[in-house]
């Protein structure tokens, strides 16, 4: 597969285009907004020039990458592609509309992939005349740097297609893992408590965002605390994923989104991209210092890590992915310092179980119910 189409020239679209172009593929980049494509290519050109200046790539390689990407203003310009990856806004209705129009212009042998982070692959393929050619190919941001790609077949996906995509991703230098077509797949399902429980702690005035972030960095060795990470991802984007997972799990309270996060979204306080989220990113703004409290930090860490490990154990029980892929998912897709199953063994599954039991007794909420497998592991 050497002719790759990418639909959408936002952050993920241009990132995926860059990855394919770096691997000697001809990339046909389509966006219905011509100005957006021009802006994305200009941004990529600037990025490559900086990499050349830092001697992280050669001038010849940078020139070749840009030459490999063709700007397209019509979907029919993708008609000769072997694989097309969609990376537009997270809207099921919009995606299906694009796929249905796309099928009018491409061959029956062209594979269609979606970079959706949480929408059902089966539901997205339902409007296609050839749903067997459809598959989830979920990259992580920034696509050129993050090694993980989730490969997600739907119920109607051709049985040979996942392995075919996996081999292609490996040839692009990616670590690919297989996931079941469940809400959030692997990464976005398992990661929900990192944000959800952190938000709950702040909503209850137990700690400040700064304290929660510092607790997870110091005790868990996480690169970014939950609130720093939400600001980086975009509070609106993070909330959208949480809302999708909650809805698609039939409103399971375990995945209930945060009212605080919803209010932040309504106020357009989306994090770094808007200049303010849980932190202020305006020029000259000073970040407030966390009031250190070792006992509190331990409680915060244990509460959040217990919820994360419980989610990973439940994913194992439901065979959403293999143990190896579950561990790879959080380390390569979320940059967690350790795999959660191994972390659970290290802390002790009995400690995790007792932490969740204490939370359940205090709140009397199904949110804190334990995976049946967790109870068997200690």
Same domain, 251 and 336: yes
Q: Rounded distance, CA 121 to CA 156, Å?
A: 9
Q: Rounded distance, CA 105 to CA 283, Å?
A: 48
* Residues with active-site annotation: 117, 138, 150, 188
Same domain, 7 and 132: yes
Rg (the chain; Cα; Å):
21
Sorted by sequence, the CB contacts under 8 Å of residue 205 that are 6+ apart come out as: none
Same domain, 229 and 160: no
Q: Is 255 exposed, middle or buried (0-12, 13-18, 19+ CB in 10 A)?
A: buried
Whether residue 3 contacts residue 26, with contact meaning beta carbons closer than 8 Å, is answered with yes
Same domain, 96 and 159: yes
Say if 34 falls within a structural domain. Answer: yes
C-alpha atoms less than 13 angstroms from C-alpha of 129 in its C-beta half-sphere = 11
Which pairs count as long-range contacts for 265-269, CB under 8 Å and 24+ apart, including other chains? 265/235, 265/236, 265/239, 269/235
Whole-number pLDDT of residue 319: 96
Same domain, 242 and 224: yes
Same domain, 246 and 160: no
Whether residue 244 contacts residue 119, with contact meaning beta carbons closer than 8 Å, is answered with yes
Same domain, 95 and 169: yes
Domain count, the chain: 2
Q: Rounded distance, CA 243 to CA 255, Å?
A: 8
> Would you call the peptide bond into 216 cis, given omega within 30 degrees of 0 as the criterion?
no
Choose one of 178, 203, 228: the last residue of a domain: 178
Q: Rounded distance, CA 187 to CA 331, Å?
A: 10
Say if 183 falls within a structural domain. Answer: no
Q: Show the domain range for 316.
A: 188-377
Mean pLDDT by 10 residues, the chain (378 residues): 96 97 98 94 96 95 97 96 97 96 97 96 96 98 95 98 98 97 96 98 98 98 97 94 94 97 98 96 90 96 99 97 96 96 98 98 97 93
Same domain, 131 and 194: no
Choose one of 145, 178, 211: the last residue of a domain: 178
Same domain, 90 and 48: yes
| CATH code of the domain in which 22 resides | 3.40.50.720
Whole-number pLDDT of residue 378: 79
Element (H, E) at 134: strand 134-139
Same domain, 146 and 192: no
Sorted by sequence, the CB contacts under 8 Å of residue 162 that are 6+ apart come out as: 135, 151, 153, 178
| CATH code of the domain in which 204 resides | 1.10.1040.50
Whether residue 62 contacts residue 52, with contact meaning beta carbons closer than 8 Å, is answered with yes
Q: Rounded distance, CA 83 to CA 342, Å?
A: 36
Whole-number pLDDT of residue 371: 98
Whether residue 153 contacts residue 162, with contact meaning beta carbons closer than 8 Å, is answered with yes
Say if 171 falls within a structural domain. Answer: yes
Same domain, 93 and 67: yes
Same domain, 228 and 93: no
Say if 339 falls within a structural domain. Answer: yes
Say if 294 falls within a structural domain. Answer: yes
Say if 148 falls within a structural domain. Answer: yes
């Amino acid at each position: 597969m050497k002719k790759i189409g990418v639909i959408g020239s936002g952050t993920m679209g241009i990132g995926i285009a860059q990855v394919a172009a770096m691997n000697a593929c001809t990339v046909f980049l389509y966006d219905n907004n011509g100005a957006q494509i021009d802006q994305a290519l200009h941004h990529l050109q600037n990025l490559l020039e900086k990499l050349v200046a830092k001697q992280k790539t050669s001038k010849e390689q940078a020139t070749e990458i840009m030459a490999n990407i063709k700007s397209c203003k019509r979907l029919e310009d993708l008609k000769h592609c072997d694989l097309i990856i969609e990376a537009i806004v997270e809207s099921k209705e919009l995606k299906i509309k694009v796929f249905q129009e796309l099928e009018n212009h491409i061959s029956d042998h062209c594979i269609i992939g979606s970079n959706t982070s949480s929408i059902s692959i089966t539901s997205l393929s339902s409007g296609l005349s050839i749903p067997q050619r459809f598959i989830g190919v979920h990259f992580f941001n920034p696509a050129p740097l993050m090694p993980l790609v989730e490969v997600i077949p739907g119920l109607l996906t051709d049985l040979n297609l996942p392995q075919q995509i996996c081999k292609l991703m490996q040839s692009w230098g990616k670590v690919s893992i297989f996931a079941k077509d469940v809400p959030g797949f692997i990464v976005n399902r398992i990661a929900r408590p990192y944000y959800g429980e952190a938000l709950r702690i702040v909503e209850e005035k137990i700690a400040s965002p700064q304290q929660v972030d510092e607790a997870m960095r110091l005790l868990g060795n996480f690169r970014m605390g939950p609130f720093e990470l939400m600001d980086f991802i975009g509070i609106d984007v993070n909330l959208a994923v949480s809302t999708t997972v909650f809805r698609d799990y039939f409103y399971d309270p375990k995945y209930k989104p945060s009212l605080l996060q919803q209010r932040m979204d309504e106020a357009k306080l989306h994090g770094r991209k808007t200049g303010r989220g849980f932190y202020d990113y305006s020029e000259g703004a000073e970040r407030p210092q966390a009031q250190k409290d070792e006992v509190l930090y331990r409680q915060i860490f244990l509460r959040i890590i217990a919820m994360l490990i419980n989610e990973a154990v439940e994913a194992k029980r439901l065979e959403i992915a293999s143990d190896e892929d579950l561990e790879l998912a959080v380390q390569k897709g979320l940059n967690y310092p350790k795999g959660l199953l191994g972390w659970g063994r290290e802390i002790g599954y009995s400690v995790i179980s007792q932490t969740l039991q204490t939370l359940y007794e205090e709140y009397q909420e199904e949110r804190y119910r334990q995976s049946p497998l967790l109870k068997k592991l200690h």
